[in-house]
């Protein structure tokens, strides 16, 4: 029921008065099952963000001598502004004591979710006012010349960088794994956590490519089974060829690991070439970053670099937003998906430039000139 024991008991007593004790207990059990299902549906990263937001709330209350169990309109609004100025437990980049706006929003959301889980009453109006306070505080900081910056958006890996990275991989088990990891991740617009959670049995080869069943998705939409087409024109860049080459190398080096039921799709490999168990999301990110370094590409790789790469390239190629969303596991018309789409060139990929180009095309058509 996501409440404290006292509130849970009060609800059970109300149910018992209306329906009898046995029915009340069945209703209570249903509430607990619903809580368990919700907990399972939330990813580890989401839960971690919620917990961090609640921890920040506890620090805020301690610093201001406020009771943590009283999230009022005023305290939540003050907490929202505090996140931007003094919310960090330890100084961030450049000695920053506050969080960037996006992080502050995430921490505010986390605090609200966890406080509600504990039975604290926070109305939609109160929550909305807290977000408005955060927005207002951030706007004032910008006007005052204060810059609160995080790490910034993940740099996307565009097709040219992808090719350069892939061609720089070698034929060792590590190189073959990295090639398969990067090509599959880019073609799926995958998160690092999705690649880390993938099992070998989740990949089905077909006559036209492969189907990948992503069951470790962060949201309902990200649990999906997208297709990846084979690329017969260039075997070195074919994601299907990369996958089969990696699995064959693994089978030769570690036949038992390769054939084990529930084996991970991608294995950790240390600097001496020893093959271990599954990779963590951070290990996936690190592997992509090392591959980019070896290729001489100064990309600050994050877990979202491959994801942003496909989203941006597909948009630039005129891809339908629904098709992009289905491949990457975004909701239809997702604003989050739009956030992954980077501008390759701020001068050509520019609203004013697009208008100017359209006007030039119209003039050329009217003058009978070839475009």
Cα distance between residue 28 and residue 49, in whole Å: 28
What does the H/E/C string look like for the chain? CCCCHHHHHHHHHHHHHHHCHHHHHHHHHHHHHHHHHHHHHCCHHHHHHHHHHHHHHHHHHHHCCCCCCCCCHHHHHHHHHHHHHHCCCCCCHHHCCCCCHHHHHHHHHHHHHHHHHCCCCCCHHHHHHHHHHHHHHHHHHHHCCCCCCCCCCCCCCCHHHHHHHHHCCCCCHHHHHHHHHHHHHHHHCCCHHHHHCCEHHHEEECCCEEEECECCCCCCCCCECCEEECCCCCHHHCHHHHHHHHHHHHHHHCHHHHHCCCCECCEEECCCCCEEEECCHHHHHHHHHHHHHHCCCCCCCCCCHHHHHHHHHHHHCCCCHHHHHHHHCCCCCCHHHHHHCCCCCCCCCCHHHHHHHHHHHHHHHHCCCCC
Crossing angle for the helix pair 5-19 and 21-41, nearest 10 degrees? 140
Name 142's Cβ contacts closer than 8 Å, sequence gap at least 6: none
Tell me what pLDDT residue 249 has. Answer: 95
pLDDT tens sequence for the chain (371 residues): 444 444 567 777 788 888 888 887 878 778 777 766 666 555 666 788 889 999 999 999 999 999 999 999 999 999 999 998 888 888 876 778 888 888 888 899 999 999 998 999 999 999 999 999 999 988 888 888 776 555 555 578 888 999 999 999 999 999 999 999 999 999 988 888 899 989 999 999 999 999 999 887 566 666 888 899 999 899 999 999 999 999 999 999 999 888 888 899 999 999 999 999 999 999 999 999 999 999 998 777 777 888 888 888 888 887 777 888 888 777 776 666 665 555 555 566 565 655 666 777 777 777 765 54
How distant, in Å, are the alpha carbons of 190, 196, 256, 274, 315 from that of 242? Answer: 16, 17, 21, 20, 25
Instruction: Taking the CA atoms of 117, 197, 236 and 207 in sequence, report the sign of the dihedral they define.
Output: negative
∠269-274-279 over CA atoms, to 5°?
25
Q: How many CB atoms lie within 10 A of CB 212?
A: 23
User: Both tokens of residue 298?
Assistant: 């100064």
- Any idea which fold 159-340 has? hpI Integrase; Chain A (1.10.443)
Q: Domain locations in the chain?
A: 42-143, 159-340
CA 82 to chain centroid, in Å, comes to 25
Cα distance between residue 105 and residue 135, in whole Å: 9
User: Both tokens of residue 173?
Assistant: 């088990």
């Amino acid at each position: 029921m996501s409440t404290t024991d006292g509130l849970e008991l009060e609800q059970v007593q109300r149910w018992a008065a209306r329906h009898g004790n046995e029915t009340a207990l069945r209703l209570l059990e249903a509430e607990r099952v619903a809580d368990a299902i919700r907990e399972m549906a939330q990813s580890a990263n989401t839960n971690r963000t919620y917990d961090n937001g609640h921890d920040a709330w506890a620090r805020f209350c301690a610093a201001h001598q406020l009771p943590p169990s009283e999230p009022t309109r005023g305290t939540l609004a003050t907490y929202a502004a505090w996140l931007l100025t003094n919310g960090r437990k330890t100084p961030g980049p450049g000695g920053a004591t506050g969080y960037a706006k996006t992080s502050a929003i995430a921490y505010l959301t986390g605090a609200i979710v966890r406080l509600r889980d504990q039975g604290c009453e926070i109305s939609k109006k109160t929550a909305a006012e807290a977000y408005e306070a955060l927005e207002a505080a951030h706007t004032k900081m910008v006007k005052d010349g204060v810059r609160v910056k995080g790490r910034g958006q993940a740099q996307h890996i565009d097709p040219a960088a992808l090719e350069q990275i892939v061609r720089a991989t070698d034929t060792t088990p590590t190189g073959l794994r990295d090639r398969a990891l990067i090509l599959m991740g880019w073609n799926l617009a995958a998160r690092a956590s999705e690649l880390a959670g993938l099992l070998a049995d989740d990949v089905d080869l077909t006559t036209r490519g492969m189907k990948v069943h992503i069951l470790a998705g962060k949201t309902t939409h990200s649990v999906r089974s997208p297709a990846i087409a084979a690329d017969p024109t260039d075997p070195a860049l074919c994601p299907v060829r990369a996958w089969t080459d990696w699995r064959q190398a693994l089978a030769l080096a570690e036949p038992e690991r390769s054939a084990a039921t529930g084996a991970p799709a991608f294995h950790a490999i240390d600097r001496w070439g020893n093959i271990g168990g599954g990779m963590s999301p951070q290990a996936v990110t690190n592997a992509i970053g090392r591959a980019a370094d070896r290729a001489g590409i100064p990309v600050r790789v994050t877990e979202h670099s491959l994801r942003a790469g496909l989203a941006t390239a597909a948009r630039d190629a005129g891809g339908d937003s629904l098709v992009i969303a289905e491949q990457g596991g975004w909701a239809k018309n997702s604003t989050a998906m739009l956030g992954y789409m980077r501008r390759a060139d701020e001068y050509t990929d520019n609203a004013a430039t697009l208008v100017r180009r359209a006007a030039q095309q119209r003039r050329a058509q009217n003058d009978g000139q070839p475009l």
